[in-house]
Structure 1
Amino acid sequence: MGVEEHKKEAPRTFKFGVITVSDKGARGEREDKAGPLIVEELSKLGENVHYKIVPDDKLEILLALFEAIRKGADVVVTTGGTGITSTDVTIEAVRPLFDRELSFGEIFRLKSYEEIGSAAILTRATAGIIRGRNRVVVVFALPGSVNAVKTGLEIIKAEVFHVLKHARE
């Protein structure tokens, strides 16, 4: 079966959550522009069930992720905390939960390289599938800049239904 045939059998909607990871955002010192952009764009495809801003802290990230899952999210998109500074811990928080890691980061960095050049190596954007007994959740971890979120959303919107179909098999 080809890609287009698979996509035809994919779900038509999903529930999603968005988590912005930012110390300044969590303290109210910086307006979150990336999180609301994700909510706006994914609302065209599904239902938003959770949005939260948390500091760069593994436990806070995990609590927000579990809260989104409890609210029924099939897809959770994080923004922020994917860089290489000592406070960037989103990847360390979510990656250990993945049953399957997706090649999203590779595609994201390729598209980023086309836009910003070799600075694309500074992101550790990733995605993966978390399997529970009766649930499957897809997590995408994006950088915090609006331009990076736009790049990531381009990929997510093109493939999220296809990913959900296969993740649920």
Structure 2
Amino acid sequence: MKAAILTLSDKGARGERADASGPALVSWLAERGAETVRTAIIPDEAALIEETLRDWTDSGEFDLILTTGGTGVSPRDVTPDATMRVVDRLIPGFGEVMRMRSLQKTPHAMISRAVAGIRGETLIINLPGSPKGAVENLEAVWPAVPHAVEKIQGDTRECASPMVPHPPVK
């Protein structure tokens, strides 16, 4: 799987803060056999986020694009808004699972607006801006990511594994 990571950070884009989330995600993906072929840090500007996501997805180079940062409720948190304007189809389950998993650690998970969706043959997932939060959220949805990418790219194999009979209920 070929991945790209887009870090959204005003301070990071100005060189005032080192990006820790992007490198953490690169390492995490590498441990699972995914190759990160592109990374970038840009400011929290909706038009620039949209342009970058469109360019990256339309290039056909990436199976997966992870964004990190800009998923909260502050005025500069525009990543989900930009992502929704770029994707063809949303996948609500990814955001639901990430919030549910994060809620076990912090009540602030309730204010995450992270989304995931499909553009062309690329899966885009918004992750939090902190390295810990980004990795934890990706871990939460990872069991479905390879399968989702296969399906997005046209795999026609059956999704369900054979049913295993359940023991009778007493």
TM bracket (short chain)? 0.7 to 0.9
Using the TM superposition, give the Cα deviation of residue 151 of structure 1 relative to its aligned residue in structure 2, in angstroms.
Answer: 1.3
1:150 is matched with which residue?
A: 135
Within the candidate set 65, 86, 97, 1:97 is matched to: 86
Q: Conserved in 2, the CA contact under 8 Å of 1:54 and 1:64?
A: no
Counterparts of 1:156 and 1:36 in 2: how far apart (Å)?
19
Equivalent position SS for 1:29? coil
What stretches of structure 1 of length at least 5 have no aligned partner? 1-13
Shift of 1:155: 2.5
Indicate the percent of aligned positions where both proteins have the same amino acid: 36
What is the DSSP-based 3-state SS (H/G/I as helix, E as strand, rest coil) of the residue aligned with 2:105?
helix
For 1:101-149, what per-residue CA distance to the aligned partner results, in whole angstroms no more than 9, with x for missing partners? 1111110010011111x22112111111112xxxx00000011012211
In the alignment, which of 23, 27, 31 is matched to residue 40 of structure 1? Answer: 27
Q: TM-score normalized by structure 1?
A: 0.83
> Which amino acid letter does the alignment assign opposite residue 65 of structure 1?
L
Count matched residues: 151
Larger radius of gyration: 2
Q: Deviations over 1:48-95 (max 9, x none)?
A: 121000000012212332343326011000000111011111111111
Correspondences of 1:135-146 after superposition (within 5 Å)? 136-146=121-131
2:52 to 59, 64, 77: 64
- Residue 144 of structure 2 corresponds to 159
Describe how 1:92-131 pairs up with structure 2 within 5 A.
92-102=81-91, 103-116=93-106, 118-131=107-120
Residue 100 (structure 1) shift: 2.0
Give TM-score, length-normalised by structure 2. 0.83
* 1:13-24 → structure 2 map (5 Å cutoff): 14-24=1-11
Q: Does 1:79 align with 2:68?
A: yes
Q: Over aligned residues, Cα RMSD in angstroms?
A: 1.5
